[in-house]
Amino acid sequence: MSRNISLTSRGEPIQYEQLFEYTNGRFLVNEKHEISKRYAKFDLDALCTVVSSLPFVSSPISKIDKLEGGFNKALLMTAENGKEIITKIPCPTVVPAEYSTASEAASLEYVRSHTSIPVSNVLAWNSDFSNPVGSEYIVLEKVNGRQLISVWGEMGQLQQFKLIQNLVQLESQLASIEFPGYGHLYFRHSAKHGSPVIPINDDCCIGPAYNASWFPQFRNQEYSGPFLPYLNLLY
């Protein structure tokens, strides 16, 4: 099935194997190692089945455009009925991917339900590497709009000022959300059995915090939160 799908990367045709490789740039130092850290293999047929069977889509996938960064592969998937969906596959550099995927899904849903910020609707997600896709993933509804970088130069100063005002208003909504501790946000049903959590409501909780950018001594600690009170994080 996947062999009949049009594959591109930022609009340029690519081969099937290039879908899993890092093709977004070069590295001046230790290039082979850096590229290997960003190689993310998954079952494309299984992923297409997951996406096409969603009620929002209900149509076979016909095109995939790969958009990637340093931590995820973002796939713009287009169905035969014209529906567009974003699917994110974490790279091995995301440590550990199961936590980051579960936390990202919960965080997006929490922001959607507690602010007016137009974040993507999470259509499906799975943080279990052993699922049929063979990787953690998040499937998102594509948000309409244009990248700011593509229109900023065309805007007048007054337009730019008003846009910045709107961004500040959106940021203030995030800043006004209060949590009872420090950690990452999770759905309560997805928290691992036995893991410490701080309940927020019936749906969400604060659990362990992980970040690939933390220095190894902290990242590899056996206990990674949640922390209450906040000063516990320092000791």
Segments in the chain below pLDDT 50: 215, 217-218
Distance, CA of 83 to CA of 52 (rounded, Å):
10
Which H or E run includes 104? helix 97-114
Report the DSSP pairing between strands 6-9 and 61-68.
Answer: parallel
Q: What's the pLDDT tens digit per position in 194-226? A: 678 899 999 999 998 876 655 454 455 555 778
Task: Note whether 207 and 189 are within 8 A (CB).
Answer: no
- pTM, two decimals, is 0.86
Q: What domains are defined for the chain? A: 6-141 (3.30.200.20)
